[in-house]
C-alpha cells in the first residue's frame, strides 16, 4: 500500500479522521507495518499494549472462540486497541488474522508526538474521547439501574 492509500484509510477511521493530512502523513510515514498470515496472532489477551493497530487489508478476528468463530471481525479501516493510543492498557482480547492481512502499528509514543506537533488537533481528539467516555458512562449507569431493579 502507498502512503496515500494509508492516509485515505486513516481519514475515514475515528478518531484518526479528526487529524489533518499532515498529521496523518506523519503517522503513516512513522508507523510500522505488520503482515499477518492466516491464524497468526496480532495480540494475545492480557499482553501489554503499546498502541493501536489499523487494519489496512484483510480481516482480524477478535476473541476467537474454541470453535474458531470470532466474537467480532475487524476489517479494513478498523482500529484495534484504540484506547492504547492514549493510555497504557493490556489487550482485552486476543486477535488472530482470518486471512492474509496487513496492519499499521501506531504506537502510543507516536500518537502523543503527533498531538504535540499538532496541538490544534489535540483539542478535537480530546473532545472525541470525552464524548466517548460520557456515552460509556451513560451505558454503564443504565446497566446499573437494570441490575438494581432485578435485586
HEC profile of 1-58: CCHHHHHHHHCCCCCHHHCCHHHHHHHHHHCEEEEECCCCEEECCCCECCEEEEEEEC
Sequence-ordered list of residues with C-beta below 8 angstroms from that of 51, at least 6 positions apart, any chain: 81, 84, 85, 105, 106, 107, 108, 109, 110, 111
CA dihedral 25, 29, 83, 11 (to 10 degrees): 30
| Grid cell at residue 130 | 470525552
pLDDT at 71: 83
Q: What is the pLDDT of residues 74-131, one digit of tens each?
A: 999 999 999 999 999 999 889 999 999 999 999 999 999 999 999 999 999 999 999 9
- What gap in Å lies between CA 29 and CA 34, rounded to an integer? 14
- What gap in Å lies between CA 81 and CA 68, rounded to an integer? 21
pLDDT at 115: 96
pLDDT at 64: 63
| Among the listed residues 98, 113, 112, the one whose alpha carbon sits nearest the alpha carbon of residue 59 | 98
pLDDT at 75: 97
| Grid cell at residue 123 | 483539542
pLDDT at 139: 86
Sheet with 79-80: strands ordered across: 32-36, 101-107, 51-57, 79-80
Q: What is the pLDDT of residues 131-149, one digit of tens each?
A: 988 888 888 888 888 888 8
Structural domain spans, the chain: 3-150
Phi, psi of 73 (to 5 degrees): -120, 130
Query: Does the domain formed by 3-150 have CATH 3.90.1150.10?
Result: no
Amino acid at each position: 500500500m502507498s502512503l496515500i492509500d494509508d492516509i485515505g484509510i486513516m481519514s475515514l477511521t475515528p478518531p484518526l479522521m479528526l487529524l489533518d493530512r499532515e498529521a496523518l502523513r506523519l503517522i503513516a510515514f512513522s508507523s510500522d507495518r505488520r503482515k499477518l498470515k492466516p491464524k497468526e496472532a496480532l495480540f494475545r489477551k492480557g499482553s501489554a499494549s503499546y498502541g493501536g493497530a489499523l487494519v489496512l487489508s484483510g480481516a482480524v478476528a477478535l476473541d476467537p472462540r474454541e470453535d474458531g468463530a470470532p466474537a467480532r471481525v475487524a476489517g479494513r479501516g478498523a482500529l484495534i486497541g484504540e484506547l492504547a493510543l492514549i493510555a497504557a492498557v493490556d489487550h482485552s482480547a486476543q486477535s488472530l488474522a482470518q486471512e492474509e492481512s496487513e496492519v499499521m502499528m501506531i504506537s502510543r509514543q507516536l500518537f502523543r508526538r503527533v498531538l504535540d506537533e499538532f496541538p490544534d488537533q489535540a483539542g478535537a481528539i480530546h473532545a472525541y474521547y470525552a464524548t466517548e467516555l460520557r456515552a460509556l458512562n451513560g451505558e454503564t449507569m443504565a446497566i446499573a439501574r437494570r441490575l438494581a431493579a432485578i435485586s
